[in-house]
């Protein structure tokens, strides 16, 4: 046995030797267009994701390699792979846009990991493509830091998501609301196929291209369905289910995506395209994290419904795959569409009761959950901290919940709710407070990527100091753990930092 295969270790490869698996590339045009990246002047590695590199099978001793830095900056192609940009369309804020596409992103490699998985690597901010619509194709360092931090934070929270391998900075000026500097992230996912890719071919009358794309997605990512005669319907059913469960996770973490356009929804049910996202500080049902969202289409409360609406757009685009007869296709699609609401309802209630530390899910728990959220809303209490603090409630005492009520405004309502909560716990024999606290603290994070924390890292990085980015990466790799030296990062933001605005350029 080779030494590297002993003790559970897998062989690590130079980026030059990492096995390629160019399955998406084999689709060819019109699904994507070959295009080189635009060279980035004076690139500097802000952060390299060593744990993800190991999962990909990369030799992390090459993290400081100038040639690898050039690849991750877009200054040279991945060996033996021609980069390309995908075409797609989408509904943006509910309005149909007939062509969008990877305007500032390039697929630079498809690799096979030591575990046998196929992963795609994509640069974001690597310059213009045929789909840039006259724009520069760049990303600013600010938005690149936010995407890098949040995708890794979401991964550690157990949320299906794209991830980031690297973050590269450059002094190249980029013109947005103000002049900023450039950043490039290397995003990693099993696939970057979006709802909008199916919409593009359906709406533009190129319906012959739907089946090859669907076959690719099914064969590569839903192989258990590939031999079924109803594989298209079965795949769409799974996408709808995954999307519903994904948004249930968003809601119970207080995560707002900010730009839930159909081109930003994954055909694998991943969180895709981090832009004007935000984790709520004070709980507000109508919280809007994107100041470009003037009508609140993507407000916190609206996310579940928008998820279902987006699924309806995917189903409509895939009608030709479901049956040659329009009436039958509509009937199948309607049946799949109607699965969303019950899947979402069951998923979110299961997560809410888990957050409360309950074993069973009872019909009356909807009232219990809503009662707690109403108290938080009236007091504008911190969403993350309030759920985390519930683990301090004891069932062996009728005394006020020390450590759990100090930040609550409506104490009378809160204490009444705690009495009901204790009674609910006791009714199912859930009185081992230490064990319950352990369970609750594995689903209620202590640390989330609050906007003011990201902004502090951005401001330091813009001066060339990347230490805060690295500190946050370490912190959010363990979001559920007590980290005594990082207590300040679990605090609510000070008043002057509560209203940091993010937009679509974020």
Same domain, 145 and 240: no
Q: What is the pLDDT of residue 495?
A: 82
Same domain, 61 and 141: yes
Task: Identify whether the C-beta of residue 283 lies closer than 8 Å to the C-beta of residue 386.
Answer: yes
Task: Tell me the per-residue pLDDT of 215-241, one tens digit each, with 9 for 90 and over.
Answer: 999 999 999 999 999 999 999 999 999
Residue 502 has pLDDT above 80, yes or no: no
Length of the chain: 506
Q: What is the C-alpha to C-alpha distance for residues 255 and 448, in angstroms, rounded to an integer? A: 9
Reported as a single tens digit per residue, the pLDDT across 302-322 is 999 999 999 999 999 999 999
CA angle, residues 506, 502, 348, in degrees to nearest 5: 100
pLDDT at 499: 73
Query: For position 9, what pLDDT does the model report?
Result: 47
Q: Per 3-state DSSP, what percentage of the chain is helix, strand, and coil (rounded to 5)?
A: 45, 15, 40
Q: Is it the case that residue 7 has pLDDT exceeding 80?
A: no
- In a domain, residue 279? The reply is yes
Residue 114 inside a domain? The answer is: yes
Those residues whose C-beta lies under 8 Å from the C-beta of residue 142, and which sit 6 or more positions away, are 180, 183, 458, 462, 506
For residue 6, the model assigns a pLDDT of: 35
Are 310 and 452 in the same domain? no
With 0-12 / 13-18 / 19 or more C-beta atoms within 10 angstroms meaning exposed / middle / buried, residue 63 is middle
What pLDDT, on the 0 to 100 scale, is given for residue 403?
Answer: 86
Buried b (16+ CB within 10 A) or exposed e, 89-102: bbbbbeeebeebbb
Virtual CA dihedral for 256, 258, 260, 264, nearest 10 degrees?
Answer: -100
Do residues 148 and 185 touch, judged by C-beta distance below 8 A? yes
Residue 201 located in a structural domain: no
46-62 residues labelled b (16+ CB within 10 A) or e (exposed): bbbbeebbbbbbbbeeb
pLDDT band at 293 (very low <50, low <70, confident <90, very high): confident
With a cut of 60, say whether residue 443 has pLDDT above it: yes
- In whole angstroms, what is the distance from residue 227 CA to residue 222 CA? 10
Report if residue 502 sits inside a domain: no
Does the annotation count 263 as an active-site position?
A: yes
What does the alpha-carbon distance between residue 424 and residue 121 come to, in Å, rounded to a whole number?
48
* Per-residue pLDDT, 15: 87
Name the residue with higher pLDDT: 499 or 392: 392
**Same domain, residue pair 160 and 12:** yes
Asked whether the CA dihedral 473, 474, 479, 482 is positive or negative, the reply is negative
Model confidence at 497, pLDDT cuts 50, 70, 90, reads confident
User: Which residue spans within 387-506 are E strands per DSSP?
Assistant: none
Say what the pLDDT of residue 17 is: 87
Structure tokens at 237: 């059913």
Average pLDDT over residues 456-475: 98
Residue 187 among known ligand-binding residues: yes
pLDDT tens, 241-253?
999 999 999 999 9
Q: Are residues 467 and 486 in the same domain?
A: yes
CA distances from residue 287 to 85, 274, 451, 498 in whole angstroms, order as listed:
34, 17, 14, 13
Whether the CB-CB separation of 11 and 114 falls below 8 Å is answered with yes
| Residue 197 domain flag | no
Contact 145, 124 (CB under 8 A): no
Please state the rounded mean pLDDT for residues 135-160.
97
pLDDT of residue 294 exceeding 90: no
Is 313 within any annotated ligand binding site?
Answer: no
Do 49 and 182 lie in one domain? The reply is: yes
Contact 184, 83 (CB under 8 A): no
Provide mean pLDDT across the span 250-279.
97
Question: Which residue from 84, 76, 55, 62 is spatially nearest to 15, judged by alpha carbons?
Answer: 62
460 has a pLDDT exceeding 80: yes
Is 124 annotated among the ligand-binding residues? yes
Q: Are residues 27 and 166 in the same domain?
A: yes
Q: Of 348, 379, 413, which residue is a domain's last? A: 348
User: What pLDDT sits at residue 181?
Assistant: 97
Strand partners, 169: 44, 183
Please check if 485 is assigned to a binding site. no
CA-to-CA distance for 288 and 302, rounded, in angstroms? 10
Q: pLDDT tens digits, residue range 168-198?
A: 999 999 998 899 999 999 999 999 999 999 9
Single out the residue in 326, 348, 370 at which a domain terminates: 348
State the Cα–Cα distance between residues 477 and 155, nearest whole angstrom.
Answer: 8
Residue 402's pLDDT is what?
84
pLDDT at 10: 57
Both 362 and 482 in one domain: the answer is: yes
Average pLDDT over residues 201-227: 97
Give per-residue pLDDT as tens, 347-381.
999 999 999 999 999 999 999 999 999 999 999 99
Tokens found for residue 449: 């990527």
The answer to whether residue 426 scores a pLDDT higher than 90 is: yes
Supply the DSSP string of 297-365, one letter for each residue.
Answer: TT-GGGHHHHHHHHHHHHHHHTHHHH-SSHHHHHHHHHHHHTTHHHHHHHHHHHHHHHHTT-SS--TTH
| 96 and 30 together in one domain | yes
Which residues is 44 bridged to in the sheet?
A: 169
**Would residue 504 count as lying in a domain?**
no
The CA distance from 314 to 91, in Å, is 11
pLDDT in tens, 79-114: 999 999 999 999 999 999 999 999 999 999 999 999
Q: Is 264 annotated as a binding residue?
A: yes
Which pLDDT does position 29 carry in this prediction?
94
Q: Has residue 500 been placed in a domain?
A: no
| 200 domain-assigned | no
Element (H, E) at 419: helix 411-427
Q: What is the pLDDT of residue 400?
A: 86
Q: Exactly one of 59, 237, 263, 293 is catalytic; which is it?
A: 263
Domain range for 46 is: 3-192
Residue 498 pLDDT greater than 80, yes or no: no
143 with 61, same domain: the answer is yes
- The number of domains in the chain is 3
Which of 323, 348, 373 represents a domain boundary (last residue)?
348
Q: Is 138 annotated as a binding residue?
A: no
CA–CA dist 228, 212 (Å, integer): 16
Statement to judge: residues 266 and 137 lie in one domain: no
- Verify that 24 and 121 share a domain, yes or no: yes
């Amino acid at each position: 046995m080779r030494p590297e295969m002993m003790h559970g270790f897998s062989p690590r490869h130079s980026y030059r030797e990492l096995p390629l698996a160019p399955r998406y590339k084999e689709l060819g045009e019109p699904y994507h267009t070959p295009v080189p990246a635009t060279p980035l002047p004076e690139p500097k590695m802000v952060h390299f994701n060593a744990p993800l590199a190991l999962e990909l099978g990369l030799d992390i001793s090459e993290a400081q390699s100038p040639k690898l830095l050039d690849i991750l900056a877009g200054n040279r192609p991945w060996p033996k792979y021609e980069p390309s940009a995908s075409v797609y369309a989408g509904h943006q804020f509910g309005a149909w846009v007939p062509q969008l596409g990877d305007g500032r992103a390039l697929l630079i490699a498809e690799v096979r990991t030591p575990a046998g998985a196929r992963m795609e690597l994509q640069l974001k901010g690597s310059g213009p493509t045929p789909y840039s619509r006259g724009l520069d194709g760049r990303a600013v360092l600010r938005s690149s830091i936010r995407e890098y931090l949040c995708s890794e934070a979401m991964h550690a929270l157990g949320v299906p998501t794209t991830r980031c391998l690297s973050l590269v900075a450059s002094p190249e000026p980029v013109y947005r609301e103000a002049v900023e500097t450039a950043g490039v992230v290397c995003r990693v996912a099993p696939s970057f196929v979006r709802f909008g890719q199916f919409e593009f071919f359906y709406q533009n009358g190129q319906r012959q291209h739907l089946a090859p794309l669907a076959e690719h997605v099914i064969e590569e990512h839903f192989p258990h369905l590939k031999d079924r005669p109803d594989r298209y319907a079965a795949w769409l059913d799974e996408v709808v289910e995954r999307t519903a469960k994904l948004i249930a996770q968003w809601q119970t973490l207080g995560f707002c995506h900010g730009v839930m356009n159909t081109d930003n929804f994954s055909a694998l049910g991943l969180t895709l395209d981090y832009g004007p996202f935000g984790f709520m500080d004070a709980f507000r049902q109508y919280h809007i994290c994107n100041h470009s969202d003037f009508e609140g289409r993507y407000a916190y409360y609206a996310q579940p419904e928008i998820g279902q609406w987006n699924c309806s757009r995917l189903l409509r685009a895939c009608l030709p795959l479901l049956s040659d007869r329009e009436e039958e296709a509509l009937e199948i699609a309607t049946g799949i569409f109607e699965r969303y609401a019950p899947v979402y309802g069951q998923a979110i209630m299961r997560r809410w009761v888990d957050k409360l530390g309950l074993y069973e899910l009872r019909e009356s728990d909807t009232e219990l959950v809503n009662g707690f959220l109403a108290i938080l809303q009236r007091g504008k209490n911190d969403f993350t901290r309030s759920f985390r603090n519930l683990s301090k409630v004891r069932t062996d005492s009728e005394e006020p919940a020390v450590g759990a009520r100090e930040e609550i405004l409506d104490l009378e309502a809160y204490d009444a709710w705690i009495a009901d909560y204790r009674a609910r716990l006791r009714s199912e024999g859930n009185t081992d407070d230490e064990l319950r606290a352990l369970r609750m603290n594995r689903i209620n994070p202590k640390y989330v990527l609050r906007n003011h924390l990201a902004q502090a890292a951005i401001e330091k990085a813009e001066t060339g100091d990347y230490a805060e980015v690295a500190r946050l990466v370490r912190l959010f790799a363990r979001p559920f753990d007590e980290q005594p030296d990082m207590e300040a990062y679990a605090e609510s933001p000070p008043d002057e930092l509560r209203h940091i605005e993010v937009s679509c350029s974020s």
